[in-house]
């Protein structure tokens, strides 16, 4: 099988790489960058530090800090308005997945016009648009290296998946020092999102030898280091390892795919505002248990790589240990059920058929080793509650 691999042309990786952003912009020929961030990073002065670095290099910039946790079409449209009004020639996104995903959509509309929903999967995105430097502050969504963005339709509430090479950032700046102040819950949730990316990229029907190597390396590191970063937020070694692994997992799934966990996770986020990494965590053990029979060898390899099974374990025994370990890791990281999260039971039950339809429509479940029917998806949602 021949595959085409796409990654950003420039990856600046390592502690202190944040200070290279202005030089990168100049290399890309930019003079008027538009910074996309969120209110929290505005308050923490990180956005101001970025703006100062850019202005000190002789460029002018504007900060757009209205991004929200689940980026909506409304926010994207406001961003496009400010981008055009300010005559900007580039974007710098700073934050978790939300500011980066928002910047991707702003860039796409600035170059192609129309509305976000015009480009929903499987519709193509014709033009790339202005330069975009992505700076993640979590480890992480991997959005800085992926060809995807997820935007919620403000009218229908649907979480729309958009995919295409045009969404790939021009450069990613991956500096683990930006993650040192992440609170424990965010560290746990974004880290589990990364673990899910690595596992899903590896078991996906679109897996390939290139994505496999990165996925295995990432899942090994994330499984080992995530509890340390949650317990010891200032552990530089663990933070650095997690940051690199999250980016590797991002490259892996961008060049393979995610699968059923992500397909089912998006509707949970859209309807109940469960943070993305947390809804992935809720789903990962149950979806793994559902899927293993169709890719026993692959899941067993995950188990051995993560160190939850030994080389001499048979495949069925290794996957049993994988499923058990995923459940116990959730307990350790205090992952709630939807009910414990505060979701109203009646509303949840009522929405299950809709969520199943939306999960299937995203295309991700079709990449799962065991392709589910709507009824099977509904059953997993019910079991989860
Ligand atoms: Fe994700």
pLDDT tens per residue across span 325-338: 999 999 999 999 99
More confident position, 55 or 161 = 55
Lowest mean pLDDT among 64-68, 160-164, 173-177, 212-216: 160-164
Please give the pLDDT value at position 366. Answer: 95
The answer on pLDDT for 1 being more than 80 is no
The answer on pLDDT for 119 being more than 80 is yes
Instruction: Give the integer Cα–Cα distance in Å for 257 and 104.
Output: 18
- CA–centroid distance, 52 to ligand 1, in Å, is 31
- Separation in Å, CA 267 to CA 94, 151, 229, 278, 353: 25, 12, 28, 13, 11
Please give the pLDDT value at position 121. Answer: 87
Degrees (nearest 5) of the Cα angle 37, 43, 49?
Answer: 70
Instruction: Give the integer Cα–Cα distance in Å for 279 and 271.
Output: 12
Mean pLDDT of 104-108: 98
Residues with beta carbon < 5 A to ion ligand 1? 193
Please give the pLDDT value at position 109. Answer: 97
Question: Considering the entire predicted model, what is its pTM?
Answer: 0.95
Instruction: Give the integer Cα–Cα distance in Å for 331 and 141.
Output: 22
- 249: phi > 0 → left, psi -120 to 50 → alpha, else beta; which? alpha
Mean pLDDT of 138-144: 95
- CA–centroid distance, 31 to ligand 1, in Å, is 32
The answer on pLDDT for 158 being more than 90 is no
3-class SS of residue 72: strand
- CA–centroid distance, 258 to ligand 1, in Å, is 8
Q: How many helices (H) and strands (E) does the chain have?
A: 15, 8
Query: How far separated are the first and last CA of the chain, in Å rounded?
Result: 40
Mean pLDDT of 126-148: 95
Most confident among 33-37, 121-125, 162-166 (mean pLDDT):
33-37
- State pLDDT tens for residues 232-285: 999 999 999 999 999 999 999 999 999 999 999 999 998 999 999 999 999 999
**Alpha carbon 91 to chain centroid distance?**
19
Mean pLDDT of 93-114: 97
Mean pLDDT of 287-309: 98
Lowest mean pLDDT among 1-5, 142-146, 331-335: 1-5
Average pLDDT taken over every residue of the chain: 96
- CA–centroid distance, 85 to ligand 1, in Å, is 32
- CA–centroid distance, 21 to ligand 1, in Å, is 25
- CA–centroid distance, 199 to ligand 1, in Å, is 11
Please, which pLDDT band fits residue 362 given cuts at 50, 70 and 90?
Answer: confident
- CA–centroid distance, 249 to ligand 1, in Å, is 10
Please give the pLDDT value at position 87. Answer: 97
- 369: phi > 0 → left, psi -120 to 50 → alpha, else beta; which? alpha
- Separation in Å, CA 220 to CA 171, 270, 295, 303, 307: 26, 30, 19, 9, 8
Q: How many CB atoms lie within 10 A of CB 188?
A: 24
Lowest mean pLDDT among 86-95, 138-147, 158-167, 372-381: 158-167
Instruction: Give the integer Cα–Cα distance in Å for 305 and 218.
Output: 10
Instruction: Give the integer Cα–Cα distance in Å for 214 and 218.
Output: 6
- Are 166 and 126 in contact by the 8 Å Cβ rule? The answer is yes
Residue 103's closest CA among 55, 136, 126?
136
Please give the pLDDT value at position 56. Answer: 98
- Are 78 and 119 in contact by the 8 Å Cβ rule? The answer is no
- CA–centroid distance, 98 to ligand 1, in Å, is 11
Please, which pLDDT band fits residue 5 given cuts at 50, 70 and 90?
Answer: very high
- Are 256 and 205 in contact by the 8 Å Cβ rule? The answer is no
- Are 351 and 245 in contact by the 8 Å Cβ rule? The answer is no
- CA–centroid distance, 353 to ligand 1, in Å, is 22
- CA–centroid distance, 347 to ligand 1, in Å, is 25
Tokens 């309807």 found at: 271
Please, which pLDDT band fits residue 305 given cuts at 50, 70 and 90?
Answer: very high
More confident position, 358 or 362 = 358
Please give the pLDDT value at position 127. Answer: 87
Please, which pLDDT band fits residue 141 given cuts at 50, 70 and 90?
Answer: very high
């Amino acid at each position: 099988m021949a595959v085409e691999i796409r990654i950003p042309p420039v990856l600046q990786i390592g502690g202190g790489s944040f200070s290279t952003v202005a030089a990168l912009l100049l290399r890309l020929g930019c003079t008027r960058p538009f910074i996309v961030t969120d209110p929290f990073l505005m308050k923490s002065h990180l956005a101001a530090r970025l703006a100062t670095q850019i202005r000190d290099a002789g460029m002018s910039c504007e900060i757009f800090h209205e991004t929200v946790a689940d980026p909506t079409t409304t926010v994207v449209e406001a961003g496009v308005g400010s981008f055009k009004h300010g005559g900007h020639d580039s974007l710098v996104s700073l934050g978790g997945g939300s500011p980066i995903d928002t910047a991707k959509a702003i860039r796409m509309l600035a170059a192609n016009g129309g509305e976000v929903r015009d480009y929903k999967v499987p519709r193509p995105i014709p033009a790339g648009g202005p330069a975009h430097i992505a700076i993640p502050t979590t480890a992480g969504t991997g959005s800085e290296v992926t060809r995807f963005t997820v935007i919620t339709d403000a009218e229908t509430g649907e979480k729309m998946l958009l995919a295409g090479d045009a969404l790939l950032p021009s450069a990613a700046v991956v500096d683990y020092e930006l993650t040192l102040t992440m609170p424990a819950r965010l560290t746990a949730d974004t880290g589990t999102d990364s673990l899910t990316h690595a596992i899903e990229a590896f078991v996906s029907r679109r897996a390939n030898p290139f994505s496999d190597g990165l996925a295995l390396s990432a899942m090994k590191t994330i499984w080992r280091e995530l509890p340390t970063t949650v317990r010891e937020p200032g552990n530089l070694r663990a933070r650095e390892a997690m940051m690199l692994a999250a980016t590797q997992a991002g490259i892996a799934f961008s060049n393979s795919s995610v699968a059923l966990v992500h397909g089912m996770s998006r509707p949970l986020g859209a309807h109940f505002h469960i943070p993305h990494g947390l809804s992935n965590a809720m789903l990962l053990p149950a979806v793994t248990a559902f899927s293993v029979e169709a890719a026993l060898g692959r899941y067993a390899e995950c188990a051995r790589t993560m160190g939850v099974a030994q080389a001499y374990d048979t495949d069925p025994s290794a996957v049993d240990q994988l499923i058990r370990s995923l459940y116990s890791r959730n307990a350790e990281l205090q992952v709630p059920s939807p009910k414990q999260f505060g979701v109203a039971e009646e509303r949840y039950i009522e929405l299950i058929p809709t969520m199943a339809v939306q999960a299937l429509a995203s295309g991700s479940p079709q990449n799962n080793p065991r392709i589910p029917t709507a009824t099977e998806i509904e059953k997993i949602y019910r079991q989860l509650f």
